[in-house]
Amino acid sequence: MHKRISDEEKRLRSINAYVVLFVFFIMVSAGIICVMIYNILSAFGLMKHIEVVPMLMPLIMLCSCVIIGSILSAMLSGILLRPLNDLKEGLLRVSKGDFSVRLEENGNSELSHIQENFNIMVKELGNTELFINDFINDFSHEFKTPMVSVYGFAKQLKKGGLAKEQEDEYIDIIINESQRLINMSSNILMLNKLENQEIITDKKEFSLDEELRRCVLQLQSQWGAKNQEVIPELCELNYYGNSEMLKQVWLNVIGNAIKYTQDGGTIEIRLDINPKNSNEIRVRVTDNGIGMDKATTERIFEKFYQGDSSHATGGNGLGLAMVKRIVELCGGRIRVKSELNKGTQFTVYLPIENKETEKEDKKKKSLNTVNTAGLK
């Protein structure tokens, strides 16, 4: 089997060839210049005394070659090594936390690939640092708000002198805010686990329509308290996947619909086969609630994002980010359509698969891995 040379190996060999050519060019140039100097000195009769001593001439030529070669190397290396010096300076700035540095890409040379990859790396590092800073700021804000509330009401209870109804109200607030902190901590841990997960385990075949009905019943206290009407239109469909993970999807999406739909509103839940793709299951959750503007729909799946103040009702902005990640792990996708003051529709598309298709996918991945390893 012939081994294929990677692009990196080819570039390394090209750079080595350039170095060899550079050294050869310096040697030849130094020799030519020495010969030219010798001919000029001979023309003026300045070499007669030197030629009397047999070993003196080769020694002078050797020294001349070394001196001229050194001068040429110093002049040319300053030009040729400038990109490497820029790379060294750039790496030093990045190590100090400056992610704004960019290298100028020089055409199609071999070094331009290194410069391009350096710029991509620094950009990714900058985005990562920005994401981490935003995450810390958002988490600090979301964590601090309920903590301040718990601290304030606990302090009032300790002072005493409150009416029984007021004490009960403060205790309920403390319980709710504490539950909010617990939920946020659990969501962060689960989201972190999902982001580091590449495949779904514990798959089994289950009734998807029955699971959706159980989720609706589990949330009955919420939509019942708001006198909302929940209309399930569910085809009988079995799905092969992780039911516990998908349960988090349905609870979050349906829970959001309940939360942002006014009292007496309507929520429709539909399950069917995607009419545009018979290999996909489609789940739609539609409400006639407050809706969202375009800016909110574009960012609704971002961590900690809760839109405007009308959407910041006791949530932590992690639920839909978690939903999106679970759906992606299932090989599906989620879409949202919304109109302000008219309602919102979330649509989840999941690929239909079974044990046999899963085995085929694993076999293909194994073959791809073997082929890739063999070609390296």
Annotate 346-367 with DSSP letters as a single string: EEEEEE---HHHHHHHHHHHHH
pTM over 0.75: no
In terms of domains, do 268 and 248 share one? yes
Asked if the structure places residue 98 within a domain, the reply is yes
Distances (CA, A) of 297 to 236, 294, 320: 31, 5, 11
The dihedrals phi and psi of 263, each to the nearest 5 degrees, come to: -60, 135
Contact between 296 and 307 under an 8 Å Cβ cutoff? The reply is yes
Across 29-33, 154-158, 274-278, which has the greatest mean pLDDT?
A: 274-278
Domain membership flag for residue 240: yes
What was the pLDDT predicted at 158?
86
Kindly state the average pLDDT of the residues 74-96: 72
Taking residues 309-327, report their average pLDDT: 68
Mean pLDDT, range 261-287, rounded to an integer:
95
pLDDT band at residue 282 using 50, 70 and 90 as cut-offs: very high
Confidence of residue 376 (pLDDT cuts 50, 70, 90): very low
Task: Say whether both 148 and 70 belong to one domain.
Answer: no
Mean pLDDT of the chain: 76
Q: Nearest 5 degrees, angle CA 231-CA 236-CA 239? A: 110
Q: How high is the pLDDT of residue 8? A: 53
Query: How far is it, in rounded angstroms, from Cα 318 to Cα 301?
Result: 8
Mean pLDDT across the stretch 72-82? 61
Q: Are 105 and 141 found together in one domain?
A: no
pLDDT for the residue 309: 45
Give yes or no: residues 167 and 305 share one domain.
no
Q: Give the residue with greater pLDDT, 280 vs 99.
A: 280
Residue 367 lies in a domain: no
Whether residue 142 sits in one domain with residue 100? no
* Residue of 349 and 136 predicted with greater confidence: 349
Are 350 and 335 a contacting pair, CB within 8 Å? no
Are residue 35 and residue 67 in the same domain, yes or no? yes
**Position 252 pLDDT exceeds 50:** yes
Q: How many CB atoms lie within 10 A of CB 13?
A: 12
pLDDT tens-digit readout, 166-179: 888 989 889 988 88
Say which residue, 17 or 147, is predicted with more confidence: 147
C-alpha atoms less than 13 angstroms from C-alpha of 245 in its C-beta half-sphere: 24
* In contact, 251 and 288? CB cutoff 8 Å: no
Q: What is the pLDDT of residues 16-68, one digit of tens each?
A: 566 656 666 666 666 676 677 667 766 766 555 555 445 555 666 666 666 66
CA–CA distance from 271 to each of 207, 215, 353 (Å)? 12, 14, 16
Count structural domains, the chain.
Answer: 3
Q: Final residue of a domain: which of 122, 150, 170? A: 122
Q: Would you state the structure tokens that stand for residue 251, as one six-digit string?
A: 């609870």
Give the type of residue at 230. Answer: V
Local structure of 163: helix, strand or coil: coil
Residue 3 Cα distances to 9, 66, 103, 228, 374, angstroms: 12, 42, 33, 66, 8
Parent domain of 95: 7-122
Residue 347 lies in a domain: yes
Based on the fold, state whether residues 233 and 354 are members of the same structural domain.
Answer: yes
Does 239 share its domain with 352?
yes
Give the integer Cα–Cα distance in Å for 265 and 95: 56
